Amino acid sequence: MRRILIATSNPGKLRDFAGAAAKLGVEVAGIPNFSSLPLVVEDGATFEANARKKAEEYSLAVPGEIVIADDSGLEIDALNGAPGVHSARYAAPELLGQEPHEAGSNTDDEANNQRVLRELENVAAGQRTARFVCVLAAARDGQTVATFRGTAEGVILPAPRGSNGFGYDPLFFFPKIQKTFAELTAEEKSRYSHRGAAFRKLQEWISEQG
């Protein structure tokens, strides 16, 4: 394997993937004309289901190529695993008047964070445990060939801290280094994050392919 394609139009994600794969002698690129492809509806009940669906459907646009797609989010134990697969659209009821699974677009990070804080307002500190989850799926010609799951265990703070990162990073406190994900450098985040953990498993798999 000498090339993988990433199912994203996000230049930051492409840079992250490319930098991590360079030492393996693997070229990373976006799918050609990705923005013109039909949008894959992320209606799966799990992160893996969404990642597999995206990887499989987008891989049909580039026959013979390995395509990587990811799905990730935050699971809070006191909220029975919410926001979960709806992490990026959690504030939809307030902002769009729709349930997250009905929303056609992501909602503002700050609004998502505020909904989480409201729902945890009366939850004791010791019961605010949570985890970030990332699942990467690799597919070729419409078939998933491998999946990789990474997690990071932490606690949701009562107020945001830090200005780096995005999404729920300012609320997610990582006890191992006593910082929120929004207080980490890019290098630290890649070392400790759910996405970094999943990508290291992907790297091992790429190395094994020869």
The predicted pLDDT at position 182 comes to 93
Cα-Cα end-to-end distance for the chain: 6
Mean pLDDT of 111-117: 96
Reported as a pLDDT band with limits 50, 70 and 90, residue 4 is: confident
Give the alpha-carbon dihedral of 56, 60, 66, 70, to 10 degrees: -40
The predicted pLDDT at position 1 comes to 58
Q: Which amino acid is at 83?
A: P
- Asked whether the beta carbons of 157 and 181 are under 8 A apart, the reply is no
* Domain 3-209 belongs in CATH node 3.90.950.10: yes
The residue ranking higher by pLDDT, 208 or 71, is 71
Bridge-based pairing of strands 27-30 and 129-140 is unpaired
Is the confidence at residue 80, as pLDDT, over 90?
yes
Is the confidence at residue 130, as pLDDT, over 70?
yes
User: How far lies 56's CA from each of 33, 51, 84, 92, 171, in Å?
Assistant: 17, 9, 22, 27, 33
Calculate the average pLDDT of the chain. Answer: 89
Mean pLDDT of 30-36: 91
The predicted pLDDT at position 100 comes to 79
pTM: 0.88
Question: Which residues are catalytic, by number?
Answer: 71
Mean pLDDT of 32-58: 93
CA atoms in the 13 A half-sphere facing the CB of 109: 12
Domain residue spans in the chain? 3-209
